[in-house]
C-alpha cells in the first residue's frame, strides 16, 4: 500500500485541497494553469454527493488570487446515478460558488451509460450559467455531431480521446480511427468553437494542432492545450515557451485508486514508470 501511494503521487497532487492548491501555485509559477479534480466516482448516496459538492466549493474558495479558479467535476459524484434533479441541484451549487469567485467548472465526460444524461444536464445548466463547459470524447461515433451542436450553441468544449472501454457499435476502438476522429473534431472546434481545450498527450495530435492553427492564422489565445498531472511535464514547459496556453488537470483526494489504475492501463510509459518505481529503487 505504501508503494502504491508512492507511485500514485506522480499522478495525484495529494489527498487534501491544500495539497492541490499548492500544486496549482507551483504550476502557475511555470506559466501553467490548472483545473482541479476531486477524485471520486459513482456516488450512490445523497450525503456523499453533497459532501463532494461541498468539497468543491471549499476548494474554489481556497484558491488564492493569481491562480485560476477552475475545477473539473464528474456528474456521478454529484449524484447523477441517484436522481437528475438532485444532481442538477448539487452541480448548480458548485457553479454558484465558482461564479462568486470568478471561477469556471468543467463537466468531465464519463462512460457511455452517462453520455446523453451528462449532455442533457449540461444543457440545462448552460441556460442559467456561462461559467460551465463540457467534455466530448473523440472515440464515440456521435461526437462529430455533438461537436457541431456545441459550436452552434457557443458551448465551451474540452476534446479528449475518451478513457472508458466502449463497444465497437458506438465507438472507434483502433487508435488510427480515434486519431482521425480527433483531428476532424479538433479542427472544427479550432475553426469555430468557443475557446476549445485540446486535451491529449499524443504528440502527433499536438503537432497537428500547432501546424493547423499556424496555417489558419488561429491565435494561441483562442484555444488551450490540456494534459494530466504527471504526464509529459517537459512538454508543458516547451509548449508554454513556444507561446501556447497550457492547463494541467490536477487530481486530488483520497479516492485516487480508480483514476490511478486507468492511467496505468492506458500507457506503456506509465507502466514503465511503475516498474521502475517498484523494482528500480
Residues annotated as part of the active site: 108, 158
Question: CB of 266: closest distance to ligand FAD in angstroms?
Answer: 5
Question: CB of 175: closest distance to ligand FAD in angstroms?
Answer: 7
Alpha-carbon distance of 190 to 207, in angstroms, equals 14
Between 223 and 249, whose beta carbon lies closer to ligand FAD?
Answer: 249
Angle between helices 84-100 and 115-126 (to 10 degrees): 50
Give yes or no for a contact between 140 and 170, defined as CB atoms under 8 angstroms apart: yes
Between 17 and 140, whose beta carbon lies closer to ligand FAD?
Answer: 140
Question: CB of 268: closest distance to ligand FAD in angstroms?
Answer: 8
Residue 99: how many CB atoms within 10 A of its CB? 17
Q: Summarize as ranges the residues that interact with ligand FAD (CB under 6 A).
A: 108-109, 135, 137, 160-164, 199-203, 226-228, 231-232, 249, 266-267, 269
Question: CB of 68: closest distance to ligand FAD in angstroms?
Answer: 14
Between 49 and 108, whose beta carbon lies closer to ligand FAD?
Answer: 108
Between 103 and 251, whose beta carbon lies closer to ligand FAD?
Answer: 251
Q: What is the DSSP string of 35-78?
A: EEEE------SHHHHHHHHHHHHHHHHHSPTTS--EEEE-GGGG
Question: CB of 128: closest distance to ligand FAD in angstroms?
Answer: 22
Give yes or no for a contact between 216 and 189, defined as CB atoms under 8 angstroms apart: no
Who contacts 165 (Cβ-Cβ below 8 Å, separation ≥6)? none
Between 59 and 160, whose beta carbon lies closer to ligand FAD?
Answer: 160
Question: CB of 98: closest distance to ligand FAD in angstroms?
Answer: 17
**What is the number of alpha carbons within 13 Å of residue 222 lying toward its C-beta?**
18
Q: Which of 30, 29, 28, 34 shows the shortest CA–CA distance to 13?
A: 34
What's the per-residue H, E or C state across 78-92? HCCCCCHHHHHHHHH
Q: 3-state DSSP helix/strand/coil percent for the chain, to nearest 5?
A: 55, 15, 30
Between 65 and 176, whose beta carbon lies closer to ligand FAD?
Answer: 176
Alpha-carbon distance of 66 to 62, in angstroms, equals 12
Amino acid at each position: 500500500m505504501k508503494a502504491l501511494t508512492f507511485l500514485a503521487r506522480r499522478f495525484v497532487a495529494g489527498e487534501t485541497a491544500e495539497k492541490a492548491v499548492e500544486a496549482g501555485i507551483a504550476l502557475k509559477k511555470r506559466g501553467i494553469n490548472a483545473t482541479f479534480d476531486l477524485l471520486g466516482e459513482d456516488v450512490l448516496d445523497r450525503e456523499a454527493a453533497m459532501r463532494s459538492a461541498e468539497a468543491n466549493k471549499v476548494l474554489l474558495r481556497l484558491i488564492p488570487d493569481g491562480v485560476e479558479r477552475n475545477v473539473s467535476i464528474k456528474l456521478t459524484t454529484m449524484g447523477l446515478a441517484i436522481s437528475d434533479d438532485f444532481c442538477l441541484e448539487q452541480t448548480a451549487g458548485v457553479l454558484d460558488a465558482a461564479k462568486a469567485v470568478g471561477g469556471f467548472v468543467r463537466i468531465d465526460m464519463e462512460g457511455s451509460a452517462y453520455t446523453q444524461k451528462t449532455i442533457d444536464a449540461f444543457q440545462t445548466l448552460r441556460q442559467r450559467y456561462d461559467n460551465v463547459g463540457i467534455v466530448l470524447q473523440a472515440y464515440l461515433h456521435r461526437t462529430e455531431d455533438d461537436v457541431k451542436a456545441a459550436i452552434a450553441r457557443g458551448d465551451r468544449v474540452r476534446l479528449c480521446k475518451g478513457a472508458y472501454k466502449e463497444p465497437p457499435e458506438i465507438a472507434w476502438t483502433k487508435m488510427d480511427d480515434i486519431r482521425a476522429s480527433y483531428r476532424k473534431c479538433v479542427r472544427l472546434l479550432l475553426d469555430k468553437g468557443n475557446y476549445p481545450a485540446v486535451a491529449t498527450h499524443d504528440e502527433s495530435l499536438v503537432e497537428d494542432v500547432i501546424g493547423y492553427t499556424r496555417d489558419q492564422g488561429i491565435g494561441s489565445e483562442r484555444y488551450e492545450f490540456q494534459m494530466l498531472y504527471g504526464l509529459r511535464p517537459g512538454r508543458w514547459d516547451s509548449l508554454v515557451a513556444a507561446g501556447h496556453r497550457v492547463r494541467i488537470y490536477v487530481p486530488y483526494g483520497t479516492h485516487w485508486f480508480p483514476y490511478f489504475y486507468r492511467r496505468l492501463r492506458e500507457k506503456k510509459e506509465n507502466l514503465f514508470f511503475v516498474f521502475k518505481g517498484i523494482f528500480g529503487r
